[in-house]
């Protein structure tokens, strides 16, 4: 979408003149702009055409639900279904950083606990078109075999099968799907942003994903604040294995392609965080995975 057409559409949706518009860092699935008027700032997300799933419909549905339940997310300014655009009130804060100490993330754990309390009764009625399939464990194994010459031990493959079976049979709850530091803005308090991957998944998935990306295992702290129904350490290990191996496999595949230097640096930084969390557990399978995704001695990194 050309900027002049985009500007017209934003002004048509908000009913006022946009004084400045600049592209800011977005995700893999959309382009993001910061638009300023005489009296407010608005984040505008422009989505690509729907493919296997519709990120626009998923995210707008999630924002509407979370706002109705009074979760801590930015206010919706407009939803433009025709042009696949979402306008959100700008939060005057900054995304969380990765690789900080556990105390830095304490407020974020409380944010997750608050969100889970408010969404705990939401049932799956097909309102979200993204689903995280635990078969991703085996996709991740194949990616690491291809890009890292990963030769998993028999014990690791047994853990993978057990983890898949556990995740596939565990009752699911509404989850954020992409709960990572960069998707939390710290302003007057912490807020969720980026709800494209909201879905129903294992109740340990969000905290496992956040732990991997932050580089800090926050499981013990989370169990003191977040209602997990039961403190299931095996389920948390299964989530770490699933999300760790799939995401690491995807990152190694992306690194092998012609990504930019900034993207390469991000991948290395995140894989080191993954390695730190997985390698500091007492689980032999997770430690094997940490070694498989390691970057220290990789001649390409």
Q: 266 phi and psi, to 5 degrees?
A: -65, -45
pLDDT tens across 61-91, in order? 999 999 999 999 999 999 999 999 999 999 9
More confident position, 131 or 219: 219
pLDDT tens across 187-207, in order? 999 999 999 999 999 999 999
pLDDT at 300: 52
d(CA 263, CA 219): 28
| Strands in 37-141 per DSSP E | 41-47, 76-80, 85-89, 94-95
| Strands in the chain per DSSP E | 20-24, 30-36, 41-47, 76-80, 85-89, 94-95, 173-175, 184-186, 190-192, 199-201
Q: Which residues contact 103 (CB under 8 A, 6 or more apart)?
A: none
Mean pLDDT of 90-96: 96
pLDDT value at 2 more than 80:
no
Q: What domains are defined for the chain? A: 3-90 (3.30.200.20), 95-293 (3.90.1200.10)
pLDDT tens across 238-293, in order? 999 999 999 999 999 999 886 788 888 999 999 999 999 999 999 999 999 999 99
pLDDT value at 184 more than 50:
yes
pTM of the model: 0.93
pLDDT tens across 208-245, in order? 999 999 999 999 999 888 876 556 899 999 999 999 99
pLDDT value at 299 more than 50:
no
Mean pLDDT of 6-12: 94
Residue 281: which H helix or E strand, with range? none
More confident position, 174 or 2: 174
Find out whether 191 and 262 touch, Cβ atoms under 8 Å.
Answer: no
| Mean pLDDT of the residues in the chain | 92
In this structure, the number of other CB atoms found within 10 A of the CB of residue 269 comes to 14
For the chain, the C-alpha Rg in angstroms (whole number) is: 20
Q: 44 phi and psi, to 5 degrees?
A: -115, 125
Question: Which of the four pLDDT bands, split at 50, 70 and 90, describes residue 49?
Answer: confident
pLDDT value at 170 more than 70:
yes
pLDDT above 90 covers a percentage of the chain that reads 81
pLDDT above 70 covers a percentage of the chain that reads 94
Find out whether 63 and 76 touch, Cβ atoms under 8 Å.
Answer: yes
Closest C-alpha among 243, 244, 247 to residue 289: 244
Task: Supply the angle between the helices 233-256 and 284-293 in degrees, to the nearest 10.
Answer: 10
Among 123-132, 173-182, 259-268, top mean pLDDT goes to 173-182
């Amino acid at each position: 979408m050309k900027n002049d057409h985009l500007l017209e559409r934003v002004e048509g949706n908000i009913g006022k003149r946009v004084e400045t518009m600049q592209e800011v860092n977005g995700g893999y699935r959309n382009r993001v702009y910061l638009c300023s008027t005489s009296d407010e700032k608005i984040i505008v997300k422009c989505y690509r055409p729907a493919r296997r799933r519709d990120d626009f419909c998923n995210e707008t549905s999630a924002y509407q639900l979370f706002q109705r339940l009074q979760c801590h997310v930015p206010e919706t300014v407009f939803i433009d279904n025709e042009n696949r655009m979402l306008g959100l009130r700008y939060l005057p804060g900054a995304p969380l950083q990765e690789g900080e100490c556990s105390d830095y993330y304490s407020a974020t754990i409380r944010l997750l606990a608050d969100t889970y309390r408010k969404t705990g009764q939401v049932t799956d009625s097909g309102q979200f078109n993204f689903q995280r399939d635990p078969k991703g464990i085996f996709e991740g194994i194949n990616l690491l075999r291809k890009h890292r010459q990963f030769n998993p031990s028999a014990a690791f493959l047994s853990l993978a099968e057990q983890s898949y079976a556990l995740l596939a049979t565990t009752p699911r709850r509404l989850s954020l799907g992409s709960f990572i530091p960069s998707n939390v803005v710290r302003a007057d308090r912490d807020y969720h942003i980026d709800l494209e991957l909201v879905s129903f998944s294992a109740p340990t998935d969000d905290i496992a994903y956040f732990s991997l990306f932050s580089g800090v295992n926050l499981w013990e702290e989370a169990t003191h604040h977040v209602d997990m129904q039961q403190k299931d350490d095996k389920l948390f290990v299964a989530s770490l294995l699933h999300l760790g191996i799939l995401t690491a496999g995807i990152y190694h595949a992306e690194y092998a392609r012609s990504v930019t230097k900034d993207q390469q640096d991000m991948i290395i930084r995140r894989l080191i965080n993954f390695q730190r969390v997985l390698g500091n557990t007492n689980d032999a399978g997770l430690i094997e995975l940490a070694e498989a995704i390691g970057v220290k001695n990789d001649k390409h990194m």
